[in-house]
Structure 1
């Protein structure tokens, strides 16, 4: 043991004072040494005391040990203080121990490190994690090679689940020591998901170091980090991808052919990056490095895919990839073996595009899903019947299916498939619609852009394991479905250019021929010439010159047996995806145009609706004015009538005065008679006339409302014509007239004029007259005078006040009715106005939403264009793979 190790273990006494064959107790030996040293003139007792303290410590006599170590004055003094602190630690006096440890000053790295470890132990016991971490990290930084120190630190961090410090320690030690042990610790942390709390660039230096010393561990660590960061936020994951690509791009020798896991991760990540969620501005700098690295590390499984990815990206974005990388990819792609399931990948691309299209509010027809399912059904071959004439194709299918086919040419795409029973369905944009009978089938098959799935029992279809499809000449959107084309022709109608163009549109689909109606009009020489002409343009085509069912079955089997169905379906699927992307782009343009047109139309409609509202409001004011004024005219006529008739009635009452009348009571009798005459006049003449006038007024109002209703009907028809649907109703409240009739009837039956005080008031003239009557009425000689006075009074009285009272009482209910006329007319117009105003609000809300949508689309066109460009890159990658590995068709 070294001297420091003896001091650490407190074995200085044994190595210094004890002999190997010494059997006496150390206490005795050291006591005798102490006595002997005291005899010297310059006694040096510190060494002996230091040793005695060690013995006491080992025997747990900590107080005696401390007493001995307190008196050390030589070079062992720092160690003595350290030992004293150790004793206080054992006694549980942690503050005292800490104070002593911190008071020690020494140049010895070992002693300094030991003190740090002891302080770390104190803080650990006390549960002071902050100081414990600080102390152990300082110790590691000061003396990392000290025995077991880094292991102590790692175990503590792990026990405390302090993964930040544990990972920091492992990274630093891995870089410092290049020890596989620490790299393996880091890998374990990463696999447990502990490392993703650090930014990806934190591991850059350690990864570079690991690549140099152990590429196997490098791949394992990179793969682990890759998978852990994939579960983080998009920004963190992208940062990781950039960082690992930056690391690899600066490593010269990346190719060793054994990067199987990394090669797969590069492939998966490339596919993820091109799923339409990221924009080109985010990918333009990332992808070239990613592809270059992938190409360099790709194993045999991914070599073709990586080189195809490089070439497709470089093709779509020229100059973004270094030409030397392009050349390397071209060299690899020639010799690489295809181990990519392109059909499966293309289906995944199709589904990715559909999912993305949904986020862009682009509607994808259900018929596309149906066609993809047909493409993926590898149990049967799909044969498309083509030809120069619709009749020729229809006749051939009828013959092939035993008369159960189309019957006549169709405007629909029809696929005939074998089944136990007849089952016919129309494939629509939204789903599958059952067709119940052949009559309905023939009717629907005349519709353009329709797909019909026709299942029926057929020996030919069953024996050949095929479907036969009829496609009208304009049905180009279905050209991606067949595995083979069977052109039905005859020499007089043969159009080689049409069929050649069809073949070019479907370059991966073999084209073969059936010459129809041979036995009718054509010589063997004519048939031979036609066959030779066909072979000159279509060297790989098979030609059948018989329509016999057995020959046709053999012919179709020979066609399908020569087809690599998966290869054809893959090519067709890629062509289908390209057409889908083109369709989505067209729909996007149409969406923008439609939105633009909708916004303009909605603005026009809002203006028209606003104008209609103003027209109705003006009409309402006009009708209020007209109808109210008409009512006021009737009321004024009644006033005038009462103004003249009442005074005449009252004055005519003078005939009731006789010379022999009792002038003491005559005023009472006259007042009663006058009221009776007024009431009778009102009931028999005024009220009937008024009621008749009201009825005429209601009829007039009805004509006014009828004009309004006619106007509303025309307005409704006009707007609904513009909307193309029954959007507006504009029903007015016609119960208003019924309410008025009911009110008029009620007023007619309920009017009664209360008696009016006509002659019983206390006007001066009446008081004098009534007083004279009472005073002189009993005297005969005075009656003539009173008769003349009363007569003259009655006939000459003004009665205006009475007229006003009676008129007001009579018209009181009618004036209440008048006050409700404007409100009732408003009720007539209320519903149409509310409906128009609500429609304006909805139209404006729709317009604003469309404006926002259009502005969003135009403001960030890259959010639509970029994903399509990325899908195009992925599509080209698959096409490169197919082109590099496709099998050519045999020459027949």
Structure 2
């Protein structure tokens, strides 16, 4: 035990006494003190230090402090530390802290002990920040002390101060090069407490660990990779880690399977169509470069094919060395993938992406993919020039259910328990009846339409026994010299039988067509059938024709075989011979890689069609915007016309009604004064003139009421009926105009979408109002003779005063004269106003009612205008989006092509294909 360890344990006193002594240490040290005091210059510091330790052990902290205060030699710093320990023991924390802080020493051990005591003190005082700062200071001072780093790690973990814990593990791992600390660091990473840190923080540790233990390096790198997945810094991690690996000399002798899997997953994640090509060009090349280096040879097919596919699409982003390495690796590999699954998964991904982006993979391509996945059937394409008997050949093989006429479209004959025929086009798959079948198959009109194929299932023994399907294509001629139908379905075929005419076998035209097919599908086996052999006179002539045909064919297609045949001969022997030729030459053993290449061809076609759709979609959007803008202009013009028509009809009907009302008013105003003047016959000489004015006023009101009811109202009734009939005619004319407008718009919409039916219930309302207003009238009594004119006042006063005694003849004459000469114009106006009040209210409502009549058409037009505006805005947004960021559509398709190209390279490892096209 060294001196500092003795001081730490407060056992310095043991060095002053005999270890074999059984006496009390305190007594022994006290004896030494007495002896030392007798010296001339006593040196008691060591003894006082030892006494302090003994008192501390006996928990006499006050005595211990007293002794340690007297230490003045080199032990003084330790004595102060012990004094602080004593104050700490009696819970005098502030005093202890003060003393700890006052200690100055060059001793790392002492400073470490002081730091640890302060750390413990701060925890006891719940000063966590101070404890944190103190333990970090101690770690910096003495990291070699395992107790220090252990305490620090435990403290950081208890406080969940993961940044400090990770920092401690990082520093210690790099400083000590200890796998133990790398394990701790990895545990933190796997617990997810480091994902917020910049990936670059870990690169130094990874670099050092690679030199120490490359397997542990892989484990730590994998842990970090997983921790950053899904985080914003994931791409930064991948890019930085790729850069880090560039400095390592990784060869295929050292594989890193776990990292290779992550590289594979990352690559396919990056090229799934969600990221732009521009962003991928900054990260994928280095990712591919490292992926190839990290993977072992048994799993290098994906990596090397990915490099080559990427180089095909972005040739300037990879070095020739990288491409060379990938080519070298691929050249030594064998195809060991489930290519069918890869192809189908890619096709399904493309189909899903298309639906999410307003595009559509054609039903025809989906049907082709399904057909190619039927591994129990091989497809034999039969082709040839027009007039060579190809249709008759197929009819002779399949029987009465097939056509013996030349086909104008491609037909796939396939075995089925029952006959089932469907037309497969890009947009749909629809069943066909017998009339439709013949029309679709034989009519030349269908050749100029969009791509289609007839899926013809029939119970053919020949198809079932041989496990084949026959693809019958239109015969080549000048009319269809582009051979589009054959090109379209060529890659569905496992083999091709080219039918030649015996009269001129393998003519220049046939040679050109056969070579075109070979160029389009270099791996497709092509064999020939000499048809119409019944036209040959004898066997020697037949042998000569076959031999000459072979001499023409052999220089171009040396592996091709020739079969002589006549559709006229339907004997069992010929069918058996053909079956033997079919089985021996045309039917090939199933090979997954070949079927995969066929699938991939149509995946490529699907991608190409989506690119075309994207351009067509842009054109459609622009055209839709133009059409909707034109429609919008027409709708607004129509709405203005309806507005004008409404105003015109409202004004016309209102003016007509007003004219009729004014005529009635004129009649009333003209007739009432005469009626009132004629009311003098109501007077008799012996009338009671005291109240005659009241009686006359009542009787005159009754006469006016009678006149209005018996004369005016009937006339008004018939006038209103005529006005309503006039309105009916006007409304019907308006409806006729709107019906023509409706037909015009429905022709534009190509649908009965527009309905502009006016509300003729308005006329019913008017008829009810007319009957109500002209069925009777109840008017308040009008003041006719009770007004305050001077003459009326005089007669009224005279009647009251002299009505019973005055000369009644005089009163009679005065009243008669008054009635005859009175000006009733004002009274007539008042009566007319009251009588016509409800008619005036009706007149005011005419404009509103006419508006109600036209409300449905206007509402329909406003709805259509809003819809057109909405469609224009929608299409403009889509078009702007497509034009502003064409890469949103282009890049995913380019990345789908990249995956497709990779699968082609993988299949090329089979080495049975002439080219990766």
- Common fold: TM-score over 0.5: yes
Q: Is the aligned partner of 1:823 residue 2:842?
A: no
Match of 2:477 in 1: none
1:196 alignment partner, SS class:
coil
**2:827 paired residue among 802, 808, 829:** 802
Q: Is the aligned partner of 1:593 residue 2:619?
A: yes
**1:640 paired residue among 628, 646, 666:** 666
Query: What does residue range 765-776 of structure 1 map to in structure 2 within 5 Å?
Result: 765-766=791-792
More moved, 351-360 vs 763-772:
763-772
Query: What does residue range 876-891 of structure 1 map to in structure 2 within 5 Å?
Result: 876-888=901-913
Q: Is the aligned partner of 1:854 residue 2:879?
A: yes
* Alpha-carbon shift at residue 237 of structure 1 (Å): 0.9
More moved, 348-357 vs 209-218:
348-357
Match of 1:203 in 2: 202
Deviations 1:717-765 (A, max 9, x none): 1122112222221121111111111211222212355665545655444
Q: Is the aligned partner of 1:289 residue 2:314?
A: no
User: Structure 2: any 5+ residue segments left out of the alignment?
Assistant: 475-482, 568-573
Match of 2:182 in 1: 183
1:882 alignment partner, SS class:
helix
* Alpha-carbon shift at residue 405 of structure 1 (Å): 4.5
Deviations 1:450-481 (A, max 9, x none): 56655554444444444444566655555444
Instruction: Label 1:54 to 1:521 Cα distance change in 2 as closer, same or farther (>3 A).
Output: farther
Match of 1:11 in 2: 11
Question: CA-atom RMSD, angstroms?
Answer: 3.7
Indicate conservation of the 8 Å contact 1:508/1:572, yes or no: no
**2:777 paired residue among 737, 748, 751:** 751
Instruction: Label 1:287 to 1:747 Cα distance change in 2 as closer, same or farther (>3 A).
Output: same
C-alpha separation between the residues in 2 aligned to 1:577 and 1:333?
23
Query: What does residue range 167-246 of structure 1 map to in structure 2 within 5 Å?
Result: 167-230=166-229, 232-233=230-231, 235-246=232-243
More moved, 660-669 vs 880-889:
660-669
1:820 alignment partner, SS class:
helix
C-alpha separation between the residues in 1 aligned to 2:765 and 2:376?
77
Match of 1:864 in 2: 889
User: Structure 1: any 5+ residue segments left out of the alignment?
Assistant: none
C-alpha separation between the residues in 2 aligned to 1:646 and 1:535?
123
Instruction: Label 1:97 to 1:365 Cα distance change in 2 as closer, same or farther (>3 A).
Output: farther
* Alpha-carbon shift at residue 629 of structure 1 (Å): 0.6
More moved, 372-381 vs 733-742:
372-381
Query: What does residue range 279-428 of structure 1 map to in structure 2 within 5 Å?
Result: 279-389=276-386, 395-405=392-402, 415-421=412-418
Match of 2:570 in 1: none
More moved, 477-486 vs 355-364:
477-486
Instruction: Label 1:214 to 1:676 Cα distance change in 2 as closer, same or farther (>3 A).
Output: closer
* Alpha-carbon shift at residue 152 of structure 1 (Å): 3.5
Deviations 1:679-700 (A, max 9, x none): 4443443322222221111111
Match of 2:2 in 1: 2
1:144 alignment partner, SS class:
coil
C-alpha separation between the residues in 1 aligned to 2:701 and 2:194?
111
C-alpha separation between the residues in 2 aligned to 1:94 and 1:463?
100
C-alpha separation between the residues in 2 aligned to 1:461 and 1:127?
89
Instruction: Label 1:805 to 1:320 Cα distance change in 2 as closer, same or farther (>3 A).
Output: same
Indicate conservation of the 8 Å contact 1:264/1:302, yes or no: no
Match of 1:119 in 2: 118
More moved, 794-803 vs 693-702:
794-803
C-alpha separation between the residues in 2 aligned to 1:49 and 1:39?
15
Match of 1:501 in 2: 516
2:836 alignment partner, SS class:
helix
C-alpha separation between the residues in 2 aligned to 1:657 and 1:22?
166
C-alpha separation between the residues in 1 aligned to 2:805 and 2:34?
178
**1:538 paired residue among 557, 572, 587:** 557
Instruction: Label 1:540 to 1:186 Cα distance change in 2 as closer, same or farther (>3 A).
Output: farther
C-alpha separation between the residues in 1 aligned to 2:373 and 2:61?
85
Instruction: Label 1:748 to 1:227 Cα distance change in 2 as closer, same or farther (>3 A).
Output: same
Instruction: Label 1:666 to 1:8 Cα distance change in 2 as closer, same or farther (>3 A).
Output: closer
Indicate conservation of the 8 Å contact 1:508/1:571, yes or no: no
* Alpha-carbon shift at residue 49 of structure 1 (Å): 2.7
C-alpha separation between the residues in 2 aligned to 1:212 and 1:689?
118
Instruction: Label 1:696 to 1:227 Cα distance change in 2 as closer, same or farther (>3 A).
Output: same
Q: Is the aligned partner of 1:840 residue 2:865?
A: yes
C-alpha separation between the residues in 2 aligned to 1:346 and 1:501?
27
* Alpha-carbon shift at residue 550 of structure 1 (Å): 4.0
Instruction: Label 1:38 to 1:857 Cα distance change in 2 as closer, same or farther (>3 A).
Output: same
* Alpha-carbon shift at residue 713 of structure 1 (Å): 0.9
Indicate conservation of the 8 Å contact 1:483/1:563, yes or no: no
Match of 2:712 in 1: 686
2:775 alignment partner, SS class:
helix
Instruction: Label 1:550 to 1:132 Cα distance change in 2 as closer, same or farther (>3 A).
Output: farther
* Alpha-carbon shift at residue 346 of structure 1 (Å): 3.5
Instruction: Label 1:739 to 1:396 Cα distance change in 2 as closer, same or farther (>3 A).
Output: farther
* Alpha-carbon shift at residue 76 of structure 1 (Å): 1.2
Q: Is the aligned partner of 1:103 residue 2:94?
A: no
C-alpha separation between the residues in 2 aligned to 1:60 and 1:773?
141
Deviations 1:66-113 (A, max 9, x none): 443332211111122223333444455544443332221110111112
More moved, 530-539 vs 710-719:
530-539
Instruction: Label 1:208 to 1:809 Cα distance change in 2 as closer, same or farther (>3 A).
Output: same
C-alpha separation between the residues in 2 aligned to 1:568 and 1:453?
23
C-alpha separation between the residues in 1 aligned to 2:56 and 2:692?
149
* Alpha-carbon shift at residue 632 of structure 1 (Å): 0.9
More moved, 481-490 vs 774-783:
774-783
C-alpha separation between the residues in 1 aligned to 2:489 and 2:714?
84
Instruction: Label 1:668 to 1:6 Cα distance change in 2 as closer, same or farther (>3 A).
Output: closer
* Alpha-carbon shift at residue 208 of structure 1 (Å): 1.4
* Alpha-carbon shift at residue 176 of structure 1 (Å): 1.8
Instruction: Label 1:549 to 1:780 Cα distance change in 2 as closer, same or farther (>3 A).
Output: same
C-alpha separation between the residues in 1 aligned to 2:317 and 2:402?
55
